[in-house]
């Protein structure tokens, strides 16, 4: 056993001596590189001196040679699907979602796409509908309400949901308020020419107005019953004798409505142009007289006359 140990030691020593004998320069050269310059730091001596010609071959990567680099596993992210215009890919739901303010609808070609929320709402519920991006719903604009799947004005809603007599009241009130708001500036010269006459708005729907001679204001006649009611409320009491004794009436009653206080309050309109009396009779008669004797007027002119209210 002791002999075996001795033989092993002898072999190891022999290998070391042979290696030293055959590679003395290599070992010494590398171990002595930059020994007087603080050692090797990267591709030069630590004091900045370049590697000598003897040392350079032992650092091949410093002269463009092979430099071993660590190998890491490569990672490629999964491909992102292409989404239509005005949309983006949501990795959580793994689907395309419309951008903020856009909804799924039909584009101008009829294809399903992300379109503007306002366009979607106006197409579905009417011009006065807009998209609420926060709540993601269509809403009617100020002064409008949803009815029958469309945004309509609150006045129209009241008319649709009111009894016939209430509808007339709403329509009349809307017409009066509109003209009050559109009144521009009083024109005394114009009023002097048309006071006592019945005016028809030819640029609208033929709405009728009576210019009352006493206060120089216009009064909305509306429908037959309304016209009859207005004329009676603004009427001037007269005796039966005064009414029947004139075929041509004096100037101070022209344009006025005379009420026969001795004959059940029968009403007569004294037409300023021919100075004759026209019997108003029932609502239909009053409305017919209004149409036959009415004077067409433009919006710009009729809005130079103040609007009156009958209490």
Query: What are the mean pLDDT values of the chain's consecutive 10-residue runs (311 residues total)?
Result: 55 49 42 71 77 74 58 72 86 88 84 88 89 87 84 74 58 81 90 93 88 93 81 90 93 94 89 93 81 91 91 71
Backbone angles phi, psi at 259, to 5 degrees: -110, 120
CA 295 to each of CA 71, 224, 290, 291, 298: distance values in angstroms, whole numbers, following the listed order? 99, 17, 9, 9, 10
Measure CA 293 to chain center.
Answer: 46
For CA atoms 198, 200, 201, 207, the dihedral sign is: positive
DSSP result, 22-76: HSHHHHHHHHTTTTTTTSEETTEETTSPBPPTTTGGG-GGGGT------------
- Alpha-carbon gap, residue 146 to 154, rounded angstroms: 9
Strand-strand pairing, 144-147 and 137-140: unpaired
Would you tell me how many other CB atoms lie within 10 Å of the CB of residue 89? 13
Residues in the chain: 311
Specify the pLDDT at position 199: 93
Angle between helices 24-31 and 2-22 (to 10 degrees): 70
Report pLDDT for 13.
Answer: 53
Q: Between 164-182 and 224-233, two packed helices, what is the crossing angle to 10 degrees?
A: 60
pTM over cut 0.75: no
Tokens of 253: 């009653």
β partners of residue 131? 138
């Amino acid at each position: 056993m002791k002999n075996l140990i001795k033989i092993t030691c002898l072999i190891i020593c022999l290998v070391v001596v042979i290696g030293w004998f055959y590679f003395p320069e290599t070992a010494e050269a590398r171990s002595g590189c930059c020994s007087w310059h603080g050692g090797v730091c990267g591709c030069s001596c630590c004091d900045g001196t370049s590697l000598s010609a003897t040392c350079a071959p032992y650092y091949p990567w410093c002269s463009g040679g092979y430099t071993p680099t660590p190998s890491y596993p490569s990672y490629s992210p999964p491909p992102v699907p292409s989404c239509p215009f005005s949309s983006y890919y949501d990795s959580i739901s793994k689907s395309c979602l419309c951008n903020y303010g856009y909804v799924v609808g039909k584009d101008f070609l009829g294809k399903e796409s992300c379109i503007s929320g306002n366009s979607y709402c106006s197409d579905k519920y009417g011009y006065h509908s807009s998209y609420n991006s926060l709540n993601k719903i269509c809403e009617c604009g100020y002064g409008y309400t949803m009815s029958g799947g469309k945004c309509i004005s609150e006045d129209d809603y009241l008319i649709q949901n009111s009894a016939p007599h209430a509808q007339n009241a709403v329509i009349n009130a809307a017409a009066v308020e509109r003209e009050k708001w559109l009144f521009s500036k009083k024109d005394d010269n114009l009023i002097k020419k048309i006071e006592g006459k019945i005016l028809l708005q030819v640029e609208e729907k033929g709405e009728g107005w009576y210019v009352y001679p006493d206060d120089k204001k216009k009064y909305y006649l509306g429908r037959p019953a309304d016209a009859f009611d207005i004329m009676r409320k603004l009427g001037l009491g007269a005796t039966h004798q005064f009414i029947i004794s004139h075929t041509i009436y004096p100037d101070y009653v022209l344009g006025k409505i005379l009420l026969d206080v001795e004959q059940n309050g029968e009403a007569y309109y004294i037409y300023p142009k021919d100075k004759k009396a026209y019997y108003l009779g029932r609502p239909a008669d009053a409305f017919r007289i209004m149409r036959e004797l009415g004077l067409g007027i433009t919006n710009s002119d009729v809005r130079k006359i103040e609007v009156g209210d009958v209490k």
